[in-house]
């Protein structure tokens, strides 16, 4: 099992290119199931999750070029789609496989998708996905760990999800694109990745309005055509490197990214004392010698993203003052706290609040990654800790960060992959 060895103390400096967004690429690749035309994608991130999804789509009968799924470009031809099934052995490694459910139902009228199961950060139920598809006329049974779904042509419906759900909204938008009549999704997720999916579907001929707001209207069409689409930049990867630079008193420039979808994160970094400048598709950050502690509360977009919570906890560990971090989206997203405490962090958990008291410095130790963003927070902490930190189980990182060791090394970090 690979490990990362990080020698702390270097201030990050220089520039790197940000990759395509994982959480936009995953739903958008599933949208290829909706058409018999060829979809050509660019700016795909080279990530384990993307490779896993391309393998899943290929075993359904989608022709994926190149087969490796390791390139930034891919062509997907779902005209030969003949196996609307997502088996447990693939779904258990990548929960976002649930995103094939809506498209398969809309295109084939049937789907057999393994329940994704929980993960380190929470139970991750998919009841809202199922409720919305049933409202559109699908018959769905959950048996032996699988979702068995059948439908004639789906019918447009008015759906209000019980809570804001990103992939739930995405599944329903994709299903509604080929349904008969109008679907209105209320309490819809407003994340930029939802907007990116909607933009891709529109380029395929879908009729969607309101993406990015909490009410999305979709007029179903009979068929969708193939199209060419470039994935948006990854705002969470961007935020992660901004945090790494902020924690190490660095000065970095991130290219091929946009500040447009990161306002809440950038506001917090500015409050912490960072000087941040924007160009058309670049963000520069100059950090102060020592950050001010910054409290935050996660919530659905445009509020502070839960996927940046762990990284901000890391920078608060070495900031000046006391910060309160409240996690409102997932019930167990403090797995990084125990590992950060091994590095000398002073953190108290009270329910879904974490009280972080900045300390003078952290000390390197051996720690273990538990989930994708927790791993990122351990990397940020290791970069600023004294001495060497060994991070185990970094396959979690490979799922969501393209070439992280190389990108950090390019910024002057002392990182070795073992
Ligand atoms: C997406 O997960 C992201 N994943 C997550 O990123 C992100 O943390 C999350 O949205 C919140 O922003 C992808 O886009 C692939 P939700 P998703 O449905 O869609 C509850 C990362 O690190 N809920 O918005 O699974 C759920 O339990 C990953 O890249 C139900 O109860 O999250 C959670 O408490 C981690 N029933 C809340 O809603 C449902 O049917 C929000 O979940 C659906 C969700």
Over 80: is that where the pLDDT of 413 sits? yes
Nearest CA to ligand 1 atom 10: 166
Helix (H), strand (E), coil (C) string for 316-369 = HHCCECEEEEECCCCCCCCHHHHHHHHCCCEEEEECCEEEEECCCCCECCEEEC
Q: Residue 117 pLDDT > 80, yes or no? A: no
Q: Is the CB of 183 under 6 A from ligand 1?
A: no
Is 298 touching ligand 1 by the criterion CB < 6 Å? no
Ligand 1 center to 102 CA (angstroms): 16
- DSSP for 39-101, please give it: EEEES----HHHHHHHHHHHHTT-EEESTT--SS-EEEEGGG----EE-HHHHTT-GGGGGGH
The whole-angstrom separation of Cα 343 and Cα 353 is 20
Whole-angstrom distance, CA of residue 54 vs CA of residue 44: 11
- Of all protein residues, the one whose alpha carbon is nearest to atom 13 of ligand 1 is 23
pLDDT value of residue 67: 79
pLDDT of residue 175: 98
Which residue minimizes the CA distance to atom 39 of ligand 1?
126
User: Quick one: pLDDT band at residue 121, thresholds 50, 70, 90?
Assistant: confident
- Rounded CA separation 94/100 (Å): 12
Q: How many CB atoms lie within 10 A of CB 21?
A: 26
pLDDT, mean of residues 240-264:
96
Average confidence (pLDDT) over 1-21: 96
Instruction: Name the token pair of 241.
Output: 């490197």
For residue 360 the two structure tokens come to: 């003078």
pLDDT level of residue 185 (50, 70, 90 thresholds): very high
What is the average per-residue pLDDT within 102-119? 93
> Averaged over 297-323, what is the pLDDT?
98
Q: Is 167 in the pocket of ligand 1 (CB under 6 A)?
A: yes
Q: How confident is the model over 149-166, as a mean pLDDT? A: 98
Which of 369, 367, 365 has the alpha carbon at shortest distance from 395?
A: 369
Residues sharing a CB contact under 8 Å with residue 318, sequence separation 6 or more, in sequence order: 247, 290, 291, 358, 359, 361, 362, 381, 384
Closest residue CA from atom 7 of ligand 1: 307
Catalytic residue set: 119
Q: How far apart are CA 364 and CA 222, in angstroms?
A: 58
52-103 tens-digit pLDDT: 999 999 999 999 998 777 789 999 999 999 999 999 999 988 889 999 999 9
pLDDT for position 165: 98
Pairing of strands 63-65, 74-77: antiparallel
What is the rounded distance in angstroms from the CA atom of residue 302 to the CA atom of residue 225? 31
pLDDT of residue 123 exceeding 90: no
Q: pLDDT above 70 covers what percent of the chain?
A: 100
Cβ of 373 less than 6 Å from ligand 1: yes
- Six token digits for residue 334: 């403090």
Q: Which band of pLDDT confidence, cut at 50, 70 and 90, is reported for residue 322? A: very high
Tokens of 398: 């490979």
Q: Please determine, for residue 118, whether its predicted confidence score (pLDDT) is greater than 90.
A: no
User: Containing H/E element for 31?
Assistant: helix 22-31
Q: Using the atom order of ligand 1, give the atom closest to the CA of residue 23.
A: 14
> What is the pLDDT averaged over residues 318-324?
98
- In short, whether 149's Cβ falls inside 6 Å of ligand 1 is no
CA of 299 to the centre of ligand 1 (A): 11
Q: How high is the mean pLDDT of the chain?
A: 96
Q: For the residues of 195-258, what is the DSSP string, one character each?
A: HHHHHHHHHTT-EEE-BTBSEEEEE--S-----EEEPPB-HHHHHHHHHHHHHTT-EEEEES--
Mutation test residue for ligand 1: of 29, 118, 165, the one with most atoms within 8 Å of CB:
165
pLDDT in tens, 348-397: 999 999 999 999 999 999 999 999 999 999 999 999 999 999 999 999 99
How does DSSP assign 147-189, residue by residue?
EEEE-SS-B--EEE-SS--HHHHHHHHHHHHTSBSEEEEES--
* Test site for ligand 1: of 122, 123, 131, 168, most ligand atoms within 8 A of the Cβ: 168
For the chain, the C-alpha Rg in angstroms (whole number) is 21
3-state SS assignment for residue 296: strand
C-beta neighbour count of 97 within 10 angstroms: 24
Mean pLDDT along residues 288-294 = 97
The CB of 330 under 6 Å from ligand 1? The reply is yes
The CB of 118 under 6 Å from ligand 1? The reply is no
Determine the pLDDT at residue 323: 98
Query: HSE on the CB side for 203, CA within 13 Å?
Result: 20
Query: Whole-structure pTM over 0.75, yes or no?
Result: yes
Q: pLDDT confidence of 116, banded at 50, 70, 90?
A: confident
- Cα distances from 172 to residues 33, 87, 94, 153, 286, in angstroms, run 14, 21, 19, 14, 41
How far apart CA 38 and CA 18 sit, in angstroms, is 27
Q: 22 near 48, Cβ under 8 Å?
A: no
Q: Is 274 in the pocket of ligand 1 (CB under 6 A)?
A: no
Q: What is the pLDDT of residue 361?
A: 97
Beta-strand pair 4-7/388-392: antiparallel
Ligand 1 pocket, mutate which of 21, 162, 163 (most atoms under 8 A from CB): 163
Cβ neighbours around 23 below 10 Å, total = 25
Helix (H) or strand (E) holding 264: helix 263-271
Q: What is the pLDDT of residue 344?
A: 98
DSSP label at 108? H
Residue 395, classified by CB atoms within 10 Å of its CB into exposed (0-12), middle (13-18) or buried (19+), is middle
Confidence tier at 153 by pLDDT (50, 70, 90): very high
- Of ligand 1's listed atoms, the one at least distance from the Cα of 127 is 40
Please name the residues in contact with 86: beta carbons below 8 A apart, sequence gap of 6 or more.
56, 60, 97, 100, 101, 111, 112, 113, 114
């Amino acid at each position: 099992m690979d490990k990362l060895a990080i020698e702390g103390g270097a201030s990050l400096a220089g520039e790197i290119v940000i990759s395509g967004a994982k959480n936009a690429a995953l739903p958008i690749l599933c949208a290829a199931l909706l058409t018999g035309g060829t979809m050509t994608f660019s700016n795909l991130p080279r990530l384990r999750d993307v490779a896993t999804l391309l393998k899943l789509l290929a075993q359904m009968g989608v022709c994926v070029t190149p087969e490796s799924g390791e390139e930034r470009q891919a062509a997907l031809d779902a005209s030969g789609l003949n196996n609307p099934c997502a088996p447990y052995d693939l779904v258990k490694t990548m929960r976002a496989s649930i995103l094939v459910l809506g498209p398969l139902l809309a295109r084939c009228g049937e789907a057999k998708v393994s329940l994704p199961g929980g993960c380190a950060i929470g139970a991750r139920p998919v009841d809202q996905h199922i409720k919305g598809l049933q409202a559109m006329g699908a018959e769905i049974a959950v048996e032996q760990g699988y979702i068995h779904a059948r439908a004639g042509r789906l019918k447009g419906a008015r759906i209000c999800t019980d809570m804001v759900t990103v992939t739930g909204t995405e599944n329903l938008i994709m299903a509604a694109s080929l349904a008969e009549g109008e679907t209105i999704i209320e309490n819809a997720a407003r994340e930029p990745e939802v907007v990116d999916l909607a933009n891709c579907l529109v380029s395929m001929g879908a009729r969607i309005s309101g993406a990015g707001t909490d009410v999305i209207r979709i007029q179903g069409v009979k068929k969708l055509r193939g199209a060419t689409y470039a994935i948006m930049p990854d705002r969470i990867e961007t935020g992660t490197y901004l945090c790494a630079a902020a924690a190490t008193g660095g000065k970095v420039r991130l290219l091929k990214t946009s500040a447009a979808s990161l306002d809440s994160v950038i506001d917090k970094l500015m409050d912490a004392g960072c000087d941040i400048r924007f160009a058309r598709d670049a963000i520069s950050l100059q950090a102060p010698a020592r950050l001010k502690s910054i409290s935050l509360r996660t919530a659905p977009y445009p509020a502070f993203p839960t996927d940046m919570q762990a990284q901000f906890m890391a920078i608060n560990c070495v900031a000046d003052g006391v910060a309160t971090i409240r996690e409102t989206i997932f019930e167990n997203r403090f797995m990084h706290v125990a590992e950060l405490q091994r590095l000398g962090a002073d953190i108290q958990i009270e329910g879904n609040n974490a009280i972080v008291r900045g300390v003078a410095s952290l000390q390197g130790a051996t720690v273990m990654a538990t989930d994708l963003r927790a791993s990122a927070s351990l990397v940020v902490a290791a970069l600023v800790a004294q001495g060497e930190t060994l991070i185990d189980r970094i396959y979690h990182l490979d799922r969501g960060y393209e070439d992280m060791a190389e990108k950090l090394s390019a910024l002057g970090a002392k990182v070795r992959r073992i």
